[in-house]
Amino acid sequence: MHPNDPRLRSFIDVDPTSDFPIQNLPYGVFSTASTPTPRVGVAIGEYVLDLAALQAARLIDLPDGVFAQPSINAFMALGPQQWSKTRARISELLRHDNAELRDNAALRQQALIPLREAKLHLPLRVEGFTDFYSSKEHATNVGTMFRDKTNPLLPNWLHIPIGYNGRASTVVVSGAKIHRPRGQLKPPSAELPSFGPCKRLDFELEIGVVVGQSSAMGTMLTEAQAEQMIFGFTLLNDWSARDIQQWEYVPLGPFQAKAFATSISPWIVTREALEPFRVHGPEQQPTPLDYLQQKGANNYDIALEVCLRTPAMATPARISATNFKYMYWSSVQQLVHHASSGCAMNIGDLLGSGTVSGPEKDQLGSLLELSWNGAEPVQLPDGEQRGFLEDGDSLLMRGWCQGDGYRIGFGEVEGTIQPAGN
């Protein structure tokens, strides 16, 4: 039975609303208090399955030590056929009707660790981080607010999957503290800039695409090659300092406004697990240039939600619910464009999709849009309101694909704002 088969069950009890049924098996990196060395695992129900332990016990046939690593990069290097074979093997080992692991009490004790006992680390070594801008709704909203409400999209937007290099050094895992950045600020009314804490701190709901194979400098990618290179997907919060961005970004793009932090969820959901949830994206008009044309259904039906918990609130409140399927440019098109000049791609490259906003007002992927640049603050259930993020705010994103009686979930990516440092 294929690892995606909805009828599969594990010997581990998994609730139908869990993010981590046997049909998912996302990869992450974890450690425990008793064994503090980070290594690779997959999530299953309320457990992490220690793949280094399984490999040491010779239950998975792969080059020695490939999972005894603080990142999945070595495993990704083995290539798509090995990714598929390994997933099938892990699925087999977790099946309710397979005794290999199920009835090996000692190995189960060692290799199945309750998630509440696991510390989750950044799951990949990020080689390069590139952020795109591929939601037509988001780009239209931004253009309406700042450029020209009668002509919000710039002339190149419908032709190019616009993107820019981000900063890999500050990609962190969910839970990492997010320090309010300082930077140069110059509101329109001020004659000179000043330097101080960002006053318009925002989140951006995105999907992160993990590249698992490299491509040579000087070569372009076809749609098929680009798809094969994609290992999996995460949630991604492209924290943004709107005021720092406004003053710095002309003409060479956002820099410090984005460089202070980017958070990703700890579990990389494999491309294979998402296969049943592929959909065609919106019609692309005008027709893209030949090199960007796609035949496949390269978008994904992934429900996404954003929740905010201020210091005064006991539980988070949902402030947005949208879907990854709305994206105008697909991840495959982004990757093809990224390599189009002959730019070499590397194992461990991370692509941010761009803010995911849908067509409705409660489907927006940033406070900039939800509050319409602060003019219509978001109302919270306890009576508070927010234009932008304040110190102590906890911002949480979740994502999942709804199957028949199960979901393929992404876990969550969370960050709490700390006051600007010294």
Q: How many chain residues touch a second copy (CB under 8 A)? A: 64
Considering only 53, 235, 241, 395, the residue that binds a second copy (CB under 8 A) is 241
Window of 37-45, 102-110, 247-255, 263-271 that interacts with a second copy by CB under 8 A: 247-255
**Cα separations in angstroms, 384 against 308, 318, 370, 409, 417:** 11, 14, 15, 30, 17
* Residue type at 309 in one-letter notation: R
Report yes or no: 236 and 208 within 8 Å, Cβ to Cβ: yes
The reply to whether 47 sits in an annotated binding site is: no
Strand pairing report for 394-402 and 303-309: antiparallel
Q: Which is nearer to a second copy, 303 or 339 (CB)?
A: 339
Query: Has 138 been annotated as catalytic?
Result: yes
In angstroms, give the least distance from the CB of 252 to a second copy: 4
Question: Of 97-105, 113-121, 156-164, 222-230, which part binds a second copy (CB under 8 A)?
Answer: 156-164
Q: Interface with a second copy includes 365 (CB under 8 A)?
A: no
Q: Report d(CA 248, CA 387) in Å as an integer.
A: 21
Written in H, E and C, the secondary structure of 216-231 is CCCCCCCHHHHHHHEE
Q: Shortest gap between Cβ of 53 and a second copy (angstroms)?
A: 30
Site for a second copy in 159-218 (CB under 8 A): 159-160, 162-170, 172, 177, 179, 181-184, 186, 192-195, 217-218
Q: Which two tokens stand for residue 157?
A: 């937007």
- For residues 314 and 219, give the distance between their C-alpha atoms in angstroms, rounded to a whole number: 53
Handedness of CA 322, 328, 332, 338 (dihedral sign): negative
Kind and range of the H or E run holding 414? strand 407-418
| 285 lies in the site for a second copy, by CB under 8 A | no
The residue length of the chain stands at 422
CB of 58 to a second copy, least distance (A): 32
> Is 133 labelled a binding residue?
yes
C-beta separation of 210 from 171 below 8 A = no
Distance CA 50, CA 173 (A): 19
Q: Does 220 bind a second copy (CB under 8 A)?
A: yes
Distance in Å, CB of 412 to a second copy, minimum: 21
- Residue 386 among known ligand-binding residues: no
Reading the block at residue 145, the tokens are 């607010």
Contact pick of 76, 124, 257, 306 for a second copy (by CB under 8 A): 257
Q: Which stretch binds a second copy (CB under 8 A): 64-72, 200-208, 258-266, 358-366?
A: 258-266
Helices and strands, number each (H, E), in the chain: 11, 26
Residues linked to residue 232 through DSSP beta bridges, in sequence order: 210, 270
Q: According to CB under 8 A, which residues from 289 to 308 bind a second copy? A: 289-291
Closest among 97, 72, 98, 96 to 86, alpha carbons compared:
72
What SS3 class is residue 199?
coil
For a second copy, the closer of residues 286 and 381 by Cβ is 286
Q: Is residue 253 at the binding interface for a second copy, with CB under 8 A as the rule?
A: yes
In the set 260, 324, 328, 388, which binds a second copy (CB under 8 A)?
A: 260
- 284 lines the binding site for a second copy (CB under 8 A): no
Closest CA to 72 of 239, 276, 211, 279: 211
The active-site residue out of 138, 179, 280, 337 is: 138
Binding site feature residues: 131, 133, 147, 204, 206, 238, 245, 249, 258, 262, 355
Binding site feature residues for substrate: 133, 147, 245, 249, 355
Binding site feature residues for Mg(2+): 238, 258, 262
Residues identified as active-site: 138
Binding site feature residues for Ca(2+): 131, 204, 206, 238
